[in-house]
Structures are given as structure tokens and as C-alpha cells.
Structure 1
Amino acid sequence: MSVLVLIVTGYAWAAMQGLVNGLTQADVIGSDEGEKPADGARDILLVGMDSRVDAQGNPLPKKMLAKLNAGVADGELNTDTIILLHVPNDGRKAVALSMPRDSYVTIPGFGTHKINSAYARGKTAAKRELEAQGVTDEKELELRSNQEGAKTLIATIEALTGQTVDNYASINLLGFYDITNAIGGVEVCLNQATSDSYSGADFKAGKQTIKGVDALAFVRQRHGLLRGDLDRVVRQQVFLAGLANRVLSAGTLTDPAKLNELVDAISKSVVVNKGWDILSFAQQMKGLTGGQIEFRTIPIVNPEYDTPDGMAVQVDPNEVRQFVAKLSGKKPSENSSSAPAPGEITVDVYNTSNIEGLAGTVAESLAAQGYLQGEVANDTPRQSSVVQAAQGELASAQAVADALGGEFVVEESPDVTAGHVRVLLAPDYQSNGNSGASAPTGGGTAPGAARKQTDEGSAEQPITADGVTCVN
């Protein structure tokens, strides 16, 4: 028995090494050299792409696309599944936090939009810039623009949650199909029968084991569900919980045939950040069981929020950050430092729009609120407004953004002097009639305005990988 265990363990380890060597890696975060994150937990961004190509950029065959019921690509590479996995260094309970794809959030450098467009916006902007620089090779364009798309999504998640993303992994439609086949399917449970021509979903009520095309339809369906995309998020959570339970409790890692299929499926379709020591991470994860993986959803303010981008899901970034801090065992106050008094912050205001006198008006408004007036001038035209602060002084930028009464891109910049905040006003900035102050368009809520917190998802019982939960 001891010899048998050693042989099986050795095979699994060799397969893991083969998997790591075969993974497609993207330079989107940088190397952590296998060290455990200093903040006490590893935060991994898991992304489901609606890509019609494999991890190496090869187009999927038309027959396979038809089989997957993928439909026709609309030209945009959206991320329809976004989950932040929080794994403590000491091996305690891991938490997977879902973000509805239509969450209306600040995308650094691009303004306020649905979160699933962050990757596409970063990718498109980078591709245009590379083409302007004379890059013509399609594979190079795809590789470099995809990396910028991932970086934009990572920055968006960090701004929304207040967490630092340590690692990144994405999977496409084909990969999900192959992986579910490799492990022999996942058991799920539905409260009622459902049928949907868009996703291809056609399921009976009750418990059932699904894989391949059916598994993809199960996690992609949103039409015909009571809460639309929010129910789809729950579908994804229970499926991933079942998948985790299957891998952790069944003989997947000790079955050479299954393991080979799983390694092959992952290698073809999963992209991870360059420098991630997967083997060390696997060692850290080996003590987890199904009950130690919990799935939650970020707090929701309004699931039917009317925006310039259409109907979206409204979220409050402050509530999201507090919720995430609580789940990670931190006090919200530990997540960010408090801002100095207005009289200690010098604000430089620049007009990058064609609205005459905008910088002066905004500077006067801020001065009236106690902020020190810095430089007031015009600057290079840009598409979206942003508030910037020096390294480590993000709280100051957020305070100025709040004083202006709107939702801004708030970011650190090495070009900003310590003690200063830089405000760049773009064409998306319009007057809200509040003492001359303005706010970017996009449905931002002014300070003091009443908010209705429904807290969808986070108020529900968390889903775990211990057992099968019946859902819509």
C-alpha cells in the first residue's frame, strides 16, 4: 500500500509539473517568486472569457462553436464571469467573491461602465496605440493588447474591492467544456425545470450531473431566470462549488486517465500570470476541503440601474470594500488610511475638455470647501475625468472626488507631488448645479443622497463546496 501511494503521488506531482510547464502565461502582474503575500492572504482573480479562440490565440472551429451554442461574436471580448478568490496563508477558509458582470463601476482610465467591459476597453485602447506605433504582426498585437486588457481589469477589481490582486487566471468557453468532461461532470440541483434557446439550457428540476455543453449552458443562462444575471452568478457559484468538491473528494488526482485529460484541458485554455508558483500554491491548498471554500456575492444597491450604457447593476464601492474587508478578517479602517483635512491638501485642476472656464469654476468650488488652490490650467485632451494623488495618498484623491459630488476614476500617479491632488476634467464632466461643482456623467450618487441597500447575494446564506445547493 505504501509503494502504491508513493507511485500515485509521484505520478500526480509529475502531471502537475507538466501542467505548469504547458500553461500559457501572461505578463500582467509580475513574479511573486512563490512567497506568501505579506497581507496574510493570496487574492486570485478568476475570469471567464467569452473568447472564441484558445489560450494560444487559435480560432475555435466553427463546428465546435456551434456545439458550444456560443453564437456569433459581437467583436467585443467581454469577461462574463469575474470572481476574486481569497485564500489565507494559514490555510483557513477560502472565500470566492463573485462580481455580477453588469456591475457599474469605475474603470481606471476609462470612466464608469459595466465591469465586464474593462478588459475589452483596455485591450482595444492598447491595440490602437500599438498599431499607431507601427506594430503589424497580428499575434504580437493580440498578445500585448490582451495583457493590457487583463491589467485594466485587475486595476478595476483592486479599485472596487480595496484588495491587491496577487494572481490572475482566465479560462475560455472551450476550456470550461473540456475541464467538465475531464472530471466526469458536476452534480447540481434546480428548484424548477428550465429551458432557454439563447444559452441552450434545457434542464429538469432536481439533482442531476452535467458536463460539457450542458455545463456551459448551465453557467451561461440568464434569460428566463427570476433575477436574471444575479441568478446566473449563483448558478456559477454552485457549479464551481460542485467542481471543487468533485476534485477535492473524488479520485481525480489519483486517476491517471482523468488527470491526463484535466491537465490537457487546462493547458489548452487557461492563461495565468507570469511568475505564479503554481506548485507552491497547490501545496498550500492541499489541506482545504469542500466545507472550507465559501462563495459570496458583492453587495448590490440596485439590480436595475438605468445608465448611459443601458440597464446595469448599481454597487457602492465603499460598501463593497467594507464587505470584502470583513470577509478577509480585516477592519475596514485597515484597508485605507484616512485623508488629511482639506486645508492640508493642495488641488491642481486641469481642463482637458472644450468647456471654457471649467477648471477655474471647479477650483473655486474646492477652495470654498477649504482645499488649497494649486495650479489651474488647460491640459492635453482626454476622454474621461480622473482624480490623481501621489503614491500612498489615495485617500486624499478620494476625498477630493467626494467633495466634487460624483464617481471618478481615482488613482495614484508617480507624477503627482506629495501633498497635492491632481484633477483632470474631461468632456464627461457636467455641472450638477451644486455651488458650481460638477460631476462626471454616468449616474453617480452625490454625497448625502439616500441610498437603498438591498445587499442581494451577500445577505443570502453563502454557498460552500460541502453538499449540493438547489438554485433557480
Structure 2
Amino acid sequence: MDDWTDRPAGDDRSEGGAEQARVITGRGMPTAPPPSIRTAPLPGMLSPAPPGRTGEGHPSRARRAGISDRGSRSPKPRPSRRRRVVRLVILLVCALVAGCVGTYVWADTKLDQEVNLGTLADRAPRGKGTNYLVVGSDSREGLSQQDRKDLRTGSAEGRRTDSMILLHTGVAGTTMMSLPRDSWVTIPPYVDPDTGRSYRATPNKLNAAFSLGGPELLVRTVERNTGLHVDHYAEIGFAGFVGVVDAVGGVDLCLDRPVRDKASGANLSKGCQTLDGAEALAFVRQRKQEAQGDLGRTQNQQKFLAALAAKAATPGTLLNPAKSVPTATAGLDTLVVDEDTGLPQLMSLFQAMRKVTSGGGRQLNVPVADPNFITPQGSAVRWDAARARQLFGELREDLPVTAGQRQ
């Protein structure tokens, strides 16, 4: 049907009216009637109005036109409280993981891996399980002159062993065995790293090995006298020890008697108290008032390590960056390890120490026959050869320990 010429039945408009409805332009071409003549198309015809003119194409226009847009788009619901909480937790976990990864990478680059165990000669054969040699040295590195005076460390240069612990882990459990620094042992043949002069094997105190040939000669001496292969070496100096204790906020310790020692500066009362770094260092170094001398000191050192491990493993320390980061920084500043010891091995070492000091393992000393053995080098500690040999054999084969002197 022609919209403009054909008329349906009953339409009373005449041709004249239709002609008058036509408008002739200057070019003689008819134009469409004004839009007001017809606002909607007949059935089956396209709408002359552009999309959205009647509010169909845009929700805001539809609302202004009074047309509901419920059929075309539903309003986006607000997230529920539970969903918002879940999102927040996910963001926090991601931030925590990123922070941990960053701290891990930073700490790994801080390790001083200066000890090369792979070049040592005459090593003990590998046994079952893993052995860590943990050494506390009297290195003054990182201490100012005032610190040395306050801590009564003296002014000696270099470093010597102040404590030695052999930690064994395996399927039979974990054993922490103290090696008294005054143990009378045989130092294997060595070459003086400063002069190049060669020395044959000779009896001496265990801590002399460290002063004569550093960590490498100490490892060889421990292996020669125990038959145990040392897999990993870790050493921390005075400054690192003090820094770690202070970083965790001090360590709680209960004493059954007062501890007074002018040489180390220890001045502690009987009872339970919190030791800061300086007090803790004085406690683990003192031995002159100990009835068992060096053996008594090793017992104090293990007792303190148990308390330190317990404090460092608490959520208040591990999950608090204000404590965990300074603790790691203080420990890494003076930590010396072997080339094969990285953060995974240090974490395994820490977990093993925490386990044994919390009652999940054994703490003992090397069996001793004479704690005041007279030697050309002064009073020393002589091991009980038969019982010590049995103990070392059980550790080498990773068997349950039946020998040893309990703490």
C-alpha cells in the first residue's frame, strides 16, 4: 500500500486534499510529510525513528520516557558482606605471600657462604641422616669499642669457638650433642693458612682447631674424632647472638640459683626473668662458678637455646614483621655457613633445634671420663672412649641413641 496515495475504505479525504498535502520543493521533488502526521509505522513496516528515539536503545532515556527496562538489563547486585570479606582475605594472603617471597630472596642474598667443605681432605664417610655442626664464635665483628666494653668480650681480633653443637636428624629422631670446647682431641695434619707451614697430627683442645685453621680444620677435627660426616656448617658471632635475642624482645629463663661472674659480666638473680641480649651472652659464656666447668656451660647453652627457640617460634614473633625481620637481619649479619647451606637447609636446622628443645628429641653431652684432665695445655675434658664410640656409631647408622651423657 502506498502510504501517501492509496486510501483504505471509508477514508473521506479527496484527491484535492491529498494534493494539498504534497509539498513541491524548488526542484520539483516531493518531500515527506512532517513527522507529526504519523508517529508509528503501520504493521509490517520499519520505524522511521532512529534507534533509541522512543527510549528503546538506552536505559536512561527509557526511564525518562517512562518505559521500564526490566526486560533488557537487570541492575548489578551489590556484593554480599561475605563476598567482600573473602576478597579482602585473598588480597591479604597475596600481599603476605609476596612479602614472604621478597624476604626469602633478600635473606638468601645475605648469606655468607665462605666455608667450602667440598675441598677438604680425609673426610669421614657419609652416614645415614644429616649432621649439622653449629658453632658459636667469639668474633667481635659488628661490635663497636663501646659494645666490646659493655659486653666484656675483650678486644682480641679474629674468632675462636665459644660453643659447639653437633645436631643429627634422621628417621630415628633428632639428637643435639654438645662438644665441650676444652675436649682433648687429636687435631689432624694441617697447613697454616697464613704461613703455609705444615703441621703433623697432634693432641690439643678442640677449640684450638678453629684458631689454628678456621672452620675447615674444625670440621676435619670433629670428623676425625667422632667418625661422623659433617653435612652442613653454621656459625654465629657475638653481635649476631645479641641482636637476635634483642630482636625477639628478650628470652624468658628460670634460674634455680643466682649467677655471678665478673669475667663474662653475668649478674642474674634466682628465679624467672627476661634476659636481653647482653645478659643472655653473659649467661651462656660464664663457666667459672659452674661445678662442672665447661660441661656446666654446655648445659647452660642448651638450656638457653631451648628458651630462644621457643620464643622465636611463637606466632607473636613469626607473624610480626616488626620482630621477624629484625631477627632475621640480626642473625644474618654475622652468620657464616658452608657453600651448600642455603635458606632451606637453615630452615631445616631451625626446625630441628626447635623440635629437640621442645621435648621432641634428645639433648646430651659427649660421655666424659674426666672433666679436669691435666694436659700440657692446661685442664681439659677427656671423653669416655668406649661410650663415646658407641654413641657416635648409633648416630652414624641413624639408630636410636642409648649412649651419651644426658643433660
TM-score, normalization by structure 1: 0.58
Q: CA deviation at 1:187?
A: 1.6
Check conservation: 1:12, 1:259, Cα contact below 8 A: no
Name the larger-Rg structure: 2
Match of 1:20 among 95, 108, 112: 108
CA distance in 2, matches of 1:76, 1:251: 36
Task: Give 1:86's aligned amino acid.
Answer: H
Contact 1:96/1:295 (<8 A) preserved:
yes
Aligned to 1:112: 203
Answering whether residue 236 of structure 2 is matched by residue 179 of structure 1, we say no
Evaluate the alpha carbon distance shift between residue 164 and residue 313 of structure 1 in structure 2; reply closer, same or farther with a 3 A threshold: same
Secondary structure of the 2:254 match is strand
* Corresponding residue number in structure 2 for 1:43: 131
The answer to whether the Cα contact below 8 Å between 1:160 and 1:320 also exists between their aligned partners in 2 is no
Q: Is the 8 A contact 1:105 1:114 kept in 2?
A: yes
Any idea what SS the aligned residue of 1:53 has? coil
For residues 343-354 of structure 1, what are the structure 2 equivalents within 5 Å?
Answer: none
Displacement of 1:304 after TM fit?
0.7
Partner of 1:69: 152
Q: Deviations over 1:141-191 (max 9, x none)?
A: xxxxxxxx2110001111122110011111111111101111112221211
- Equivalence map 1:323-342=2 (5 Å): 323-327=391-395, 330=398
Give the Cα–Cα distance (whole angstroms) in 2 for the partners of residues 115 and 283 of structure 1: 26
Secondary structure of 1:242's match? helix
Q: Please, which of 166, 170, 173 is the counterpart of residue 93 of structure 1?
A: 173
Aligned partner (choices 265, 276, 284) of residue 341 of structure 2: 276
Q: Name the aligned partner's letter for residue 105 of structure 2.
A: Q
- Contact 2:250 / 2:275 at 8 angstroms: preserved in 1? yes
- Which residue is 1:216 aligned to? 281
Q: 2:377 aligns with which of 283, 298, 309?
A: 309
The 1:295/1:284 distance shift into structure 2, 3 A limit, reads: closer
Q: Distance in 1 between matches of 2:236 and 2:316?
A: 23
Amino acid at match of 1:87: T
Q: Secondary structure at the match of 2:298?
A: helix
Cα distance in 1 between the residues matched to 2:221 and 2:130: 18
The structure 2 residue matched to 1:320, chosen from 364, 381, 388, is 388
Asked whether the equivalents of residues 111 and 336 of structure 2 are also in contact (C-alpha less than 8 Å), the reply is: yes
Does the CA-based 8 Å contact 1:15-1:263 persist in structure 2?
no
- Kept in 2, the 8 Å contact 1:196–1:221? The answer is yes
Other structure's SS at 2:116 match:
coil
Asked if 2 retains the 8 angstrom alpha-carbon contact of 1:194 and 1:203, the reply is yes
Partner of 2:364: 296
> Could you tell me how far apart the structure 2 residues matched to 1:294 and 1:79 are?
23
1:28-427 equivalent positions in 2, closer than 5 A: 28-30=116-118, 39-54=127-142, 60-73=143-156, 77-88=159-170, 93-109=173-189, 110-122=201-213, 149-279=214-344, 282=347, 289=355, 290-327=358-395, 330=398
1:198–1:221 Cα contact (<8 Å) kept = yes
Identify if the C-alpha distance between structure 1 residues 459 and 166 changes in structure 2 by more than 3 Å, giving closer, same or farther: closer
Secondary structure of 1:178's aligned partner = helix
Structure 1 residues 12 and 186, CA gap change in structure 2 (3 angstroms): farther
When the two structures are superposed, what TM-score results if normalisation uses the length of structure 2?
0.67
Relative to structure 1, the CA distance from residue 111 to residue 283 in structure 2 (aligned partners, 3 Å threshold; closer, same or farther) is closer
SS at match of 1:251: helix
Cα pair distance change 1:286/1:217, threshold 3 Å? closer
Q: CA RMSD in A?
A: 2.7
Give the distance between the partners of 1:6 and 1:103, measured in 2 at CA: 51
Name the CA distance, whole Å, in 1 between partners of 2:126 and 2:396: 14
Q: Give the CA deviation at 1:8.
A: 3.4
Would the alpha carbon gap of residues 246 and 30 (structure 1) be closer, same or farther in structure 2, given more than 3 Å must change? Answer: farther
- The answer to whether the 8 A contact 1:103-1:313 is kept is yes
The separation in 2 between residues aligned to 1:192 and 1:283, in whole angstroms, is: 34
Q: Deviations over 1:283-326 (max 9, x none)?
A: 68658643324321111110010101011111145532321333
Ranges in structure 2 where 5+ consecutive residues have no aligned partner: 1-85, 120-124, 190-200
Structure 2 letter corresponding to 1:11: G
Amino acid at match of 1:12: C
**CA 15–97 in structure 1, closer or farther in 2 if over 3 Å, else same:** same
**Residue type at the aligned position of 2:233:** Y
Contact 1:30 1:273 in 2 (8 A): no
* Structure 1 CA distance for aligned equivalents of residues 98 and 185 of structure 2: 46
Does structure 2 conserve the Cα–Cα contact (< 8 Å) formed by 1:102 and 1:114? Answer: yes
Q: 1: distance between equivalents of 2:173 and 2:93? A: 27
